[in-house]
């Protein structure tokens, strides 16, 4: 009897320990995921839900909130809104047109061992991404100023070209915004494409050389298809970055640009929410902007075959 009792008492702690261990294995994944769930809920999910609710309200103060239905969305449809969509869409399209092929070509050159000073150029292209956007915006605003003594106009004068008021005309203002974006993000996209080039087997280029392919044919038939996942990623983040652009426009033109030539959708949200103290209208534009970006990215990812399952 005593021996059986001792055996039972020895087995119980083992079973209890096993149960505790199994419980820990089940709980552990949730513990590790909990920080992400909390941060996602606090900094992403809650703001979106709050913005959706605010878009149906008229907010005159912390305690003066009135539900007005779709009035903010109806009032949003005006000349300023359509102009903001046009400016933002043009800006996004032009930045993609520049910041996909240009960094890809530069990455190909910087990936070659024969390129002189390639490490220097890699660092030089990436430095603008580390520069404060305030410093960059002030520099470009002064460089493309209206006076004859500004940097760009002085350079034009050296070559006998007419001087221009860069930030007062729609076409030139858009060009300046694209130049600022290219200067800031060219190096980052080069890094993306350089990392993608490392995944392309060297044997493919060697086989193409044996078959008599030139450099251009190698680029079109090996490099571009091999960089397709990187291209899709760069285009996706460029769509988001283009439609979310605000700081460059604000630093170049201030809170209001002449003739709305620099008015983006985020600038319109800023004007409505903080200048006109109409948080409901600003929230309606923000939700519309979210829908536009999601729709464009979904179409772009579908057309590029991102959602297609790979064949076995």
Could you report the per-residue pLDDT of 264-284, keeping only the tens digit for each? 999 999 999 888 888 999 999
Residues 6+ apart with CB under 8 A from 240: 293, 297
210 and 150 belong to one structural domain: yes
157 and 33 belong to one structural domain: no
Could you report the per-residue pLDDT of 209-231, keeping only the tens digit for each? 888 888 888 899 999 999 999 99
Which of 12, 28, 54 is at the close of a domain? 54
Looking at the domain assignment, is residue 66 inside a domain?
no
- Residue 12 exposure: Cα atoms within 13 Å on the Cβ side: 6
Contact 102, 182 (CB under 8 A): yes
- 11 confidence band (pLDDT: 50, 70, 90): very low
80 and 24 belong to one structural domain: no
Question: How many distinct structural domains can be found in the chain?
Answer: 2
Print the domain residue range for 199: 72-303
86 and 120 belong to one structural domain: yes
77 and 23 belong to one structural domain: no
Whose structure tokens read 């309200």?
57
- 305 confidence band (pLDDT: 50, 70, 90): confident
Predicted local distance difference test score (pLDDT) of residue 5? 46
pTM of the model: 0.84
Looking at the domain assignment, is residue 61 inside a domain?
no
186 and 275 belong to one structural domain: yes
Determine whether 279 is exposed, middle or buried from the number of CB atoms within 10 Å of its CB (0-12, 13-18, 19+).
Answer: buried
128 and 166 belong to one structural domain: yes
Nearest residue to 282 (alpha-carbon basis) of 84, 2, 36, 141: 84
- 19 confidence band (pLDDT: 50, 70, 90): low
161 and 42 belong to one structural domain: no
151 and 228 belong to one structural domain: yes
Nearest residue to 85 (alpha-carbon basis) of 299, 242, 252: 242
Looking at the domain assignment, is residue 64 inside a domain?
no
CATH label of the domain that carries residue 261: 1.10.3720.10
Looking at the domain assignment, is residue 62 inside a domain?
no
């Amino acid at each position: 009897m005593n021996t059986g009792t001792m055996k039972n008492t020895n087995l119980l702690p083992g079973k209890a320990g096993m149960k505790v261990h199994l419980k820990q294995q089940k709980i552990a994944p949730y513990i590790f995921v909990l920080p992400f769930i909390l941060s996602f809920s606090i900094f992403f999910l809650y703001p979106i839900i709050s913005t959706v609710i605010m878009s149906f309200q008229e907010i005159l103060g912390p305690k003066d909130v009135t539900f007005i239905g779709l009035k903010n969305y109806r009032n949003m449809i005006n000349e300023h809104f359509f102009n903001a969509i046009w400016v933002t869409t043009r800006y996004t399209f032009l930045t993609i047109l520049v910041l996909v092929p240009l960094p890809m070509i530069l990455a190909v050159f910087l990936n070659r061992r024969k390129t002189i000073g390639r490490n220097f150029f890699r660092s030089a292209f990436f430095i603008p991404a580390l520069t404060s956007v305030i410093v960059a915006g002030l520099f470009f605003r002064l460089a493309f100023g209206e006076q004859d003594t500004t940097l760009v106009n002085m350079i034009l004068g050296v070559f006998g070209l007419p001087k221009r008021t860069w930030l007062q005309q729609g076409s030139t203002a858009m060009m300046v915004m694209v130049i600022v974006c290219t200067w800031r993000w060219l190096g980052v996209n080069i890094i993306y494409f350089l990392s993608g080039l490392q995944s392309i087997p060297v044997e493919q280029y060697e086989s193409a050389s044996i078959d008599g392919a030139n450099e251009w044919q190698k680029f079109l038939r090996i490099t571009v298809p091999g960089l397709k996942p990187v291209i899709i990623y760069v285009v996706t983040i460029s769509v988001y970055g283009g439609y979310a652009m605000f700081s460059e426009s604000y630093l170049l033109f201030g809170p209001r640009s002449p003739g709305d030539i620099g008015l983006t959708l985020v600038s319109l949200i800023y004007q409505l929410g903080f200048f006109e103290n109409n948080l409901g209208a600003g929230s309606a534009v923000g939700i519309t902007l979210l829908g536009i970006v999601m729709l464009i990215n979904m179409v772009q990812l579908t057309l590029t075959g991102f959602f297609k399952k790979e064949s076995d």
